[in-house]
Chain A
């Protein structure tokens, strides 16, 4: 039993979750609180990777970050960085497809926060950052946690976009789903089955865990 794809999957999903959190929470907060022209278009774009086939996401990313792609050329010529077929590309693919789950959960959570609580804090002369950290964020916390779990589970299972832009490199980009695909392709049923079992158990555990925790919160 080769545990490297399992460890690699956890690392890649973990890193992409970090990115999704850092980018997703502020954007979700802005989208929940601000109105601007073209908001519904932005809204649709942010949710798009959720419904778009992952291979299409991968295809678009391939032509953006490929060695001769728009961003790929820039990165290579300015910084000597090649993103395509690296662990970084796997993180990017996982983060892109997981983002809408984090964003949607966090936005719904921010929308459900009672604005009167924030008003009260404001009358007590708290500044906006303090209000966000001490009032809004704690109230939205359960929603954010469920977003975290969903995004992590989605990142863990990402295959289509990952296969296109990160390829199959054992120890670098060969995550569990990629390993399953190649094992099944070469008729190594036991190996594919074992990895499938592991990822099923982990994702089930995650979803069960968060549901259980959410129930306890109410």
Chain B
């Protein structure tokens, strides 16, 4: 029995040591870029990232997708992020005012539209944002307005239309815009407000109305390099690639409009 335990202990030790050595060998050649990006960008950026990595063998891109608000909070709390792409200017303004952005790197990357969606199988006769007040609509999914820009824009829309007070009881708040999309896809809510680009990646939802541009602040996706980065040159090169024609095609394929 004792021999078995000692042998097990030795095997574990050898495995741990070899793992550590393996890690250090593996980590040497590649430069890792940490990119925090709004959840709505998930599919487009993953595609752009794959192409970029295949062209730049020495670079590894680590994407961290979430609501812009929570990503901003993470950066403020010292998360090791090199590049940040927000779904609204508010988060970027806040980081800028705290001097957390590398000066002169902030640019507007993309534009988007806000749409009202229902699930494909829905029997509800929702035709417009105003229909959300009807009794047939029991649950509406929005992004949590403090941290999810899509939720802020949706709130502005519904306020502008004068129906916010009448729908507030029906609202379910998602942690990011993709959570809102999932709520609608699964049929667990009657309707949701997301970006036009989110509907491109889903065949389970349909758009019933598009918000007029003057109902909410312009939907701008700014990008910037974070001040604390140790990989400024690599980050800059990636930023440039995001604004190349090849990226533009991918962004447009996923329903965005470019802002440069």
Q: Does B246 contact A (CB under 8 A)?
A: no
Minimum CB–CB distance for B38 against chain A, Å: 14
Q: Does B130 contact A (CB under 8 A)?
A: no
Given the known interface contacts A66-B188, A82-B138, the answer about A185 and B73 at a Cβ–Cβ threshold of 8 Å is: yes
> How many angstroms between the C-alpha atoms of A158 and B6 in the bound complex?
42
Q: Does B199 contact A (CB under 8 A)?
A: no
Q: Does B172 contact A (CB under 8 A)?
A: yes
The listed residue (B67, B144, B188) touching A168 by CB distance below 8 A is B144
Total chain B interface residues with beta-carbon distance under 8 A: 22
Q: Mark A63-79, 1 if CB is under 8 A from B, else 0.
A: 00011100000000000
A185 pairs with B139, CB closer than 8 A: no
Q: Mark A154-181, 1 if CB is under 8 A from B, else 0.
A: 0000000000000111100000000000
A185 pairs with B187, CB closer than 8 A: no
Given the known interface contacts A67-B186, A84-B188, the answer about A186 and B171 at a Cβ–Cβ threshold of 8 Å is: no
Minimum CB–CB distance for B211 against chain A, Å: 23
The listed residue (B72, B175, B183, B187) touching A187 by CB distance below 8 A is B72
**Which residues of B in the span 65-83 have a Cβ within 8 Å of any Cβ on A?**
67, 69-70, 72-73, 76-77
Q: Does A195 contact B (CB under 8 A)?
A: no
> How many angstroms between the C-alpha atoms of A149 and B170 in the bound complex?
34
The bracket for how many chain A residues form the interface is 10 to 19
Residues of A contacting B187 with CB < 8 Å?
66-68
Given the known interface contacts A67-B186, A67-B187, A85-B189, the answer about A187 and B73 at a Cβ–Cβ threshold of 8 Å is: yes
Q: Does B173 contact A (CB under 8 A)?
A: yes
The listed residue (A67, A186, A187) touching B188 by CB distance below 8 A is A67
A186 pairs with B172, CB closer than 8 A: no
Minimum CB–CB distance for B22 against chain A, Å: 29
Q: Does A188 contact B (CB under 8 A)?
A: yes
Q: Does B247 contact A (CB under 8 A)?
A: no
Q: Does A141 contact B (CB under 8 A)?
A: no
> How many angstroms between the C-alpha atoms of A168 and B139 in the bound complex?
12
Q: Does B147 contact A (CB under 8 A)?
A: yes
Closest residue of B by beta carbon distance from A187: B73
B144 pairs with A182, CB closer than 8 A: yes
The listed residue (A66, A68, A170, A187) touching B69 by CB distance below 8 A is A187
Residues of B contacting A85 with CB < 8 Å?
139, 172, 183, 188-189
The listed residue (B69, B77, B139, B174) touching A186 by CB distance below 8 A is B69
Closest residue of A by beta carbon distance from B186: A66
B76 pairs with A187, CB closer than 8 A: yes
Closest residue of B by beta carbon distance from A173: B172
Residues of A contacting B175 with CB < 8 Å?
168, 182, 185
Residues of B contacting A66 with CB < 8 Å?
186-188
Given the known interface contacts A84-B188, A85-B189, the answer about A186 and B173 at a Cβ–Cβ threshold of 8 Å is: no
Given the known interface contacts A82-B138, A187-B76, the answer about A182 and B173 at a Cβ–Cβ threshold of 8 Å is: yes
Given A67-B188, A185-B175, 19 further pairs, Cβ under 8 A: A66-B188, A68-B186, A82-B139, A85-B139, A85-B172, A85-B188, A167-B172, A167-B183, A168-B172, A168-B173, A169-B171, A182-B144, A184-B73, A185-B73, A185-B146, A186-B144, A186-B146, A186-B147, A188-B146
Interface, chain A (partner B; CB < 8 A):
66-68, 82, 84-85, 167-170, 182, 184-188
24 contacts between A and B (CB under 8 A): A66-B186, A67-B186, A67-B188, A68-B187, A82-B139, A84-B188, A85-B139, A85-B188, A85-B189, A167-B172, A167-B174, A168-B173, A169-B172, A182-B144, A182-B147, A182-B175, A184-B73, A185-B70, A185-B73, A186-B73, A186-B146, A187-B72, A187-B73, A188-B146
Interface, chain B (partner A; CB < 8 A):
67, 69-70, 72-73, 76-77, 138-139, 144, 146-147, 171-175, 183, 186-189
